[in-house]
């Protein structure tokens, strides 16, 4: 296995694992959250978010999902424009725009809002905020799956 393929394989692994985490949030946690009232939603999220935000695995997988394909692109720059290289670029960009930028500029500010609520008196628009959280998670999950699939395809194609 050459250096390009090794870096790409690391990107596949990291983006696949991160996609799995997001799938668990989307298909498990969100189903639980959807059935909660405002106080219980706030209580659960205020317990979950500080742990999830500081989980080293999130940072490691996010960085690896962007940096490993970037390294592959640099290592395979002589193949720039070929399908494998283009798919690697597209996968990296899908992850960068989806999980990375959406997390930083949409989810994180929303987390701060939820963490600022009082458990005994959540705001009247809490349901709107919850739906926004759900929508962001759907977008992050879809883009992480897209990135994963593009990177897998790039890895399986001959160079």
Q: Is the pLDDT of residue 41 over 90?
A: yes
What pLDDT shows up at residue 1?
83
Compute the CA torsion angle 67, 68, 73, 75 (nearest 10 deg): 120
Percent of the chain with pLDDT over 70: 100
Q: Please tell me the pTM assigned to this model.
A: 0.92
Which of 106, 107, 103, 90 shows the shortest CA–CA distance to 147? 90
């Amino acid at each position: 296995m050459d250096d390009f393929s090794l870096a790409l394989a690391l990107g596949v692994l990291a983006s696949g694992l991160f996609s799995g985490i997001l799938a668990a949030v989307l298909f498990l946690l969100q189903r639980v959250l959807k059935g909660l009232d405002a106080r219980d939603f706030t209580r659960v999220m205020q317990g979950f978010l500080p742990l999830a935000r500081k989980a080293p695995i999130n940072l490691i997988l996010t960085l690896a999902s962007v940096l490993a394909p970037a390294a592959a692109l640099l290592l395979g720059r002589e193949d720039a424009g070929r399908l494998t290289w283009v798919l690697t670029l597209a996968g990296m960009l899908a992850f960068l725009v989806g999980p990375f930028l959406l997390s930083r500029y949409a989810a994180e500010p929303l987390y701060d809002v939820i963490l600022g609520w009082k458990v005994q008196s959540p705001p009247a628009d809490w349901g709107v905020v919850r739906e926004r959280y759900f929508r962001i998670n759907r977008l992050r999950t879809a883009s992480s799956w897209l990135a994963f699939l593009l990177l897998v395809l790039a890895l399986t194609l001959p160079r």
